[in-house]
Amino acid sequence: MTQELGQIMRSEIEEVPEVFLRIKNHAKEMLHQVSALDLDSIDSVILVARGTSDNAALYLKYLIETKIGIPCGLASPSVVTVYGTKLRYKNVLVIALSQSGQSPDLVGYCAAARDGGATVIAMTNDPDSPLAKTSHCHLYLHAGPEKAVAATKSYSAELLVSRLLVAHWKGESVDFDSIIAQTKEGLVQMSSIKSFAQRFDYSHGLTTMGRGFAYANAHEAALKIQETVKIPVASFSSADYLHGPISSLHSGSRVLFLAPAGVAQSSMASTVARIRDITAHIYWIGSGFARNEGEVYLGGSIGLSETDAVIADSVLLQLFALFLAVSADKDPDAPIGLAKVTKTL
């Protein structure tokens, strides 16, 4: 009997609440490692990642800048691996995010950063990976083996571990139980998302959009659909979209907004109003924005802060990509042309 398309990816999305529970159960030991670092001396942060992990890094960037109030940028690893730059990173924290921890450019960048005086934290799904061994502190994602090429549970885990790290740095706590409960509620939406995906028409183009913490999920939704459905998808900040890209929008365009619980509606209102004037094909993941009649709601967590809602809602965008791919007779477990571990220099 032929295995159902997307069976592995689906099972890994369904495992997300259990992954979150494992992170909760190991939070104390992870934070013990973080406590050994001199974070009070840090003046700036550089994040280094690729692909799905790069999207999780966007969430972490917003967390650090809003909660800690210091500059946080995204690294260009080729500065080291291609151009051979010697880094001067005194009082700099480098945080590397990677499912496999194997890509040579990430490892090389972190080694150069450490040689240049940086403190290095790595988040990976493999404690024995080269990236983990290059760091001063390794935070294990506890996602377990991830076999589907399209990363799901490891992305969600990166979001939660990022939340845990910055909460500890700020002196706050994380409401694990509420995040886990709302993630489970998201999985309950599986059948309705599947039904919607089966009739979704993306032939006129698809754009994903979010702002603030949800910007990470907007990028990840676009990447997951590109990986699994093999169609081009554009992703934007809802603020940046008004600065030119909106000119490509037409009446047949499809727009997916990522608007989690707690999001400030005023931050997106002008973009939403402009888009509504052009197209009626508007879709929502997240419960944080008032929807017009006829707009499609794919689900969203309720009662969480914006930072936590982004984490719980991550399973919804993963389910949407999964069922779009299956409906298009594509195999999201092993998309043609992609490998699970990508090693770049």
Residue 321 belongs to domain with CATH number? 3.40.50.10490
pLDDT per residue over 39-85, tens digit each? 999 999 999 999 999 999 999 999 999 999 999 999 999 999 899 99
Per-residue pLDDT band at 342 (split at 50, 70, 90): low
Same domain as 210, residue 93 = no
Domain boundary among 146, 174, 202: 174
- Residue 13 counted as domain residue: yes
| pLDDT value of residue 215 | 95
Same domain as 23, residue 100 = yes
Same domain as 283, residue 189 = yes
Give the domain extent around 81. 7-174
Average model confidence (pLDDT) across the chain: 93
Same domain as 156, residue 11 = yes
Domain boundary among 158, 174, 190: 174
Same domain as 213, residue 192 = yes
Same domain as 267, residue 129 = no
Tokens standing for 17?
A: 């609440």
**Are the CB atoms for 253 and 247 separated by under 8 Å?**
no
| pLDDT value of residue 279 | 94
| pLDDT value of residue 222 | 97
Instruction: Kindly state the percentage of the chain with pLDDT values over 90.
Output: 84
Same domain as 141, residue 203 = no
Closest CA to 156 of 225, 227, 68, 221: 221
Same domain as 270, residue 140 = no
**Are the CB atoms for 125 and 99 separated by under 8 Å?**
yes
The 10 Å Cβ neighbour count of residue 68 is: 16
**Are the CB atoms for 113 and 46 separated by under 8 Å?**
yes
Per-residue pLDDT band at 337 (split at 50, 70, 90): low
* Dihedral over Cα of 194, 191, 237, 68: its sign: negative
Same domain as 167, residue 266 = no
| pLDDT value of residue 4 | 84
| pLDDT value of residue 244 | 78
pLDDT per residue over 118-147, tens digit each? 999 999 999 999 999 999 999 999 999 999
- Residue 333 counted as domain residue: no
Q: Is residue 343's pLDDT more than 70? A: no
pTM of the entire predicted model:
0.95
Q: Is residue 345's pLDDT more than 70? A: no
Same domain as 246, residue 187 = yes
Q: How many domains does the chain have?
A: 2
* Mean pLDDT of the region 283-304: 95
Pairing of strands 44-48, 92-98: parallel
**Are the CB atoms for 55 and 314 separated by under 8 Å?**
no
Dihedral of CA atoms 338, 146, 331, 226 in degrees, nearest 10, equals: -50
| pLDDT value of residue 243 | 84
**Are the CB atoms for 70 and 42 separated by under 8 Å?**
yes
Tokens standing for 330?
A: 């594509």
* Mean pLDDT of the region 291-299: 95
Same domain as 257, residue 134 = no
pLDDT per residue over 261-275, tens digit each? 988 788 888 899 999
| pLDDT value of residue 1 | 33
- Residue 338 counted as domain residue: no
- Residue 167 counted as domain residue: yes
Q: Is residue 328's pLDDT more than 90? A: yes
| pLDDT value of residue 333 | 86
- Residue 339 counted as domain residue: no
* Mean pLDDT of the region 11-29: 98
pLDDT per residue over 239-248, tens digit each? 888 887 888 8
Three-state SS for 182?
helix
- Residue 153 counted as domain residue: yes
pLDDT per residue over 22-47, tens digit each? 999 999 999 999 999 999 999 999 99
* Mean pLDDT of the region 330-339: 72
* Mean pLDDT of the region 8-12: 96
- Residue 141 counted as domain residue: yes
- Residue 254 counted as domain residue: yes
Same domain as 35, residue 145 = yes
| pLDDT value of residue 340 | 46
| pLDDT value of residue 184 | 98
